[in-house]
Structure 1
Amino acid sequence: LKVLVTGAAGQIAYSLLYSIANGDVFGKDQSVTLVMLDIAPMAGVLEGVVMELQDCALPSLKIALQVTIYQQIYEVNLTLVISTTTVEEAFADIDYAILVGAMPRRQGMERKDLLKANAKIFKEQGQALDKFAKKTVKVLVVGNPANTNCLIALTAAPSIPKDNFTCLTRLDQNRAQSQIAARLGVSNDCVSNVIIWGNHSSTQYPDVAHASVKCGDTESSVVSCVKDDNWLNGEFITTVQKRGGAVIAARKLSSAMSAAKAICDHVRDWHFGTKGDKWTSMGIYSNGSNYGIKEGIIYSVPVRIAPGGAFTAVTGLSISDFARSKMDETAEELFGEKLMAMEFMS
């Protein structure tokens, strides 16, 4: 597998790259070529990241094939690490593209400002995917606003199937899951089938109406265990919706460690598949057939994934009037972002 991580000199990648190189995402026995891309001014930082991967003393690591001024290639028994600032090389024949690199959200920054700054980046990366990557490439967009950046990249890569593009809402799912687990005093892995509907923004709808919690051999609904609809329909939702902003306010930087963990979770599930009747949330292209969401946006829904990556949206879930209003609100925001994006792309 050839795996590209953009923004490889940034703070999210700093937590992410070790997990990929160590086999935590694709398995310990899977051969991986890890490609790290960032802008030319970050070439020295990329060199330092490669040094750190060496210094992790991973069992399979061995050193250096080739060194040039902007590029270093290190050979490993299981992992080949390529750091580059050249788009043509970075996107060539890749199997996975994890598009982390983007203008970061700063405190007080509006989403419109963020979208304008990133529209050009993701248009160019979509074009690079279209021109250089395998047509089977799986693309995960992380850089915010992730849903609309994903739509931009997808639009710029017409030769790649739309279902090969997803955006990250697993971080929101993990945040929601951890809030429920803390409320009930159970471990995080006891909570399953939380849903994130819509946009990775403050309009997203974290939904536990179909979620369950397992204690011992007993599995019960989250709603029946929490026994507090006011909390579930109020503070719980707003906490998850505003968690990214709360992290920025506290750290003066956006989420990094938790974002890297969520990326690993997302890609691992996309590669190996979900288990049994469990599902996960992913931002996918809306074709107009799921839960009344109109065609033409990247919208987070629950999906089940088969080994190898083919996913299907979970259908037939009952939707309350409250949920419907929340789902429509976040869809409206996404259509508004789409209009802005098309303007910025022209």
Structure 2
Amino acid sequence: MPLELVLLDIAPMMTVLGGVVLELQDCALAHLKEVIATDSEEVAFKNVDVAILVGSMPRKEGMERKDLLKANVKIFKSQGAALDKFAKKTVKVVVVGNPANTNCLTALKSAPSIPKENFSCLTRLDHNRARAQISLKLNVTCSDVKNVIIWGNHSSTQYPDASHATVAIGGKDVPAYEAVKDDAWLKGGFISTVQQRGAAVIQARKLSSAMSAAKAICDHVRDIWFGTPKGQYVSMGVISDGNPYGIAEDLLYSFPVSIEGKNWKIVEGLKIDEFSREKMEVTAKELLEEKETAFEFLSCA
């Protein structure tokens, strides 16, 4: 399938973006037909099939969270409106720039003619981190670990949940808790390690996650396009609208989803114990506070 890649950045970064184009050309990628670099939202979003919104205002020293939300509301309101005007109505929009959940909700609200189900935010990086931690613990490959869940926000309040995960051992899928045999770790160190993994990467390399984030974006888009294997689900930030787990409507919340025909569906029927419920509500509360703050700015932006 030939790909046309359109790269959007602000005007002062166009020279740097040109360097990215040169590198993409030098990769000699088999399916890459054309690369266009632009600082125009109209050019970038014209008739696109997939829009991956990576750029956001990063939090700077001394900046309060409300200041960060205010800056990003402006960016994602503009991009949402541009998508609404120029993109195909079937476009799949993936928001990566943080705070990803609330930025995605801002873009969604700014693009009323595009189905809200077409918007999602990236929690696949956290999902992959969770699988990796279990695989390291058991000395198995990541492909052996299935159906971990990231609930809630792509932040330190997220809830990495292994209670429904399985691990392939001896030719059969074994519940993760049975395979690991360390409940204290699965309810403690496992959760905190995944929650703080982004900060650990920054501390180690003085930059945020790059390669792992790019891999997670590819995983996320591939599953939207080609679906999830039968019996398996992945984590994705999607709109909570009549969901089966009691999360307030109109939040952009990470759920376990299965995907078929380019449409996601929240996995139903998973048992939620008291421990999980408490964790899920903590991250929902944070998202509700983010939404309220962002929407104050959205209404007057």
Specify the TM-score bucket, using the shorter chain as the normaliser: over 0.9
Q: CA deviation at 1:228?
A: 1.1
User: Could you say what secondary structure the match of 1:176 adopts?
Assistant: helix
Question: Could you tell me how far apart the structure 1 residues matched to 2:18 and 2:156 are?
Answer: 36
User: Could you say what secondary structure the match of 2:203 adopts?
Assistant: helix
Provide, for residues 152-202 of structure 1, a one-character-per-residue CA deviation record: whole Å limited to 9, x for no partner: 000000111110000000000001110000001111111000000000001
Question: Could you tell me how far apart the structure 2 residues matched to 1:149 and 1:37 are?
Answer: 17
1:31 aligns with 2:31: no
Contact 2:243–2:266 under 8 Å retained in 1: no
The residue type equivalent to 1:46 in the other structure is L
Question: Could you tell me how far apart the structure 2 residues matched to 1:111 and 1:79 are?
Answer: 41
Contact 1:105–1:144 under 8 Å retained in 2: no
Provide, for residues 265-315 of structure 1, a one-character-per-residue CA deviation record: whole Å limited to 9, x for no partner: 000000000001000000000003320011011000001100x31111100
Contact 1:281–1:301 under 8 Å retained in 2: yes
Contact 1:99–1:143 under 8 Å retained in 2: yes
Question: Could you tell me how far apart the structure 2 residues matched to 1:280 and 1:110 are?
Answer: 32
1:227 aligns with 181
2:269 aligns with 316
List runs of 5+ in structure 2 lacking aligned partners. Answer: none
**Percent identity at matched positions?**
64
The residue type equivalent to 1:295 in the other structure is E
Question: Could you tell me how far apart the structure 1 residues matched to 2:289 and 2:18 are?
Answer: 40
Question: Could you tell me how far apart the structure 2 residues matched to 1:227 and 1:121 are?
Answer: 46
2:239 aligns with 285
Count of residues paired in the alignment: 299
Contact 1:107–1:252 under 8 Å retained in 2: no
Q: CA deviation at 1:92?
A: 0.6
TM-score (norm 2): 0.96
1:333 aligns with 2:301: no
Work out which of the residue numbers 54, 58, 76 in structure 1 matches 2:29: 58
Q: CA deviation at 1:322?
A: 0.4
User: Could you say what secondary structure the match of 1:58 adopts?
Assistant: coil
Provide, for residues 2-58 of structure 1, a one-character-per-residue CA deviation record: whole Å limited to 9, x for no partner: xxxxxxxxxxxxxxxxxxxxxxxxxxxx12211111000111011111111122233
User: Could you say what secondary structure the match of 1:152 adopts?
Assistant: helix
Question: Could you tell me how far apart the structure 2 residues matched to 1:300 and 1:120 are?
Answer: 23
The residue type equivalent to 1:224 in the other structure is E
List runs of 5+ in structure 1 lacking aligned partners. Answer: 1-29, 61-77
Q: CA deviation at 1:109?
A: 5.7
Distance change in 2, residues 1:55/1:304 (3 Å): same
1:252 aligns with 2:206: yes
Distance change in 2, residues 1:245/1:218 (3 Å): same
Contact 2:134–2:145 under 8 Å retained in 1: yes
Question: Could you tell me how far apart the structure 2 residues matched to 1:250 and 1:111 are?
Answer: 24
TM-score (norm 1): 0.84
Work out which of the residue numbers 56, 79, 90 in structure 2 matches 1:125: 79
2:134 aligns with 180
Matches for 1:1-150 after TM superposition, within 5 Å = 30-59=1-30, 78-106=32-60, 110-150=64-104
Distance change in 2, residues 1:150/1:320 (3 Å): same
The residue type equivalent to 1:32 in the other structure is L
User: Could you say what secondary structure the match of 1:98 adopts?
Assistant: strand
Question: Could you tell me how far apart the structure 1 residues matched to 2:144 and 2:193 are?
Answer: 20
Distance change in 2, residues 1:254/1:211 (3 Å): same
Question: Could you tell me how far apart the structure 2 residues matched to 1:221 and 1:107 are?
Answer: 43
Question: Could you tell me how far apart the structure 1 residues matched to 2:162 and 2:102 are?
Answer: 25
1:295 aligns with 249
Larger mean CA deviation between 105-114 and 143-152 belongs to 105-114
Question: Could you tell me how far apart the structure 1 residues matched to 2:88 and 2:158 are?
Answer: 32
The residue type equivalent to 2:18 in the other structure is E
Question: Could you tell me how far apart the structure 2 residues matched to 1:303 and 1:89 are?
Answer: 32
Contact 1:114–1:144 under 8 Å retained in 2: no
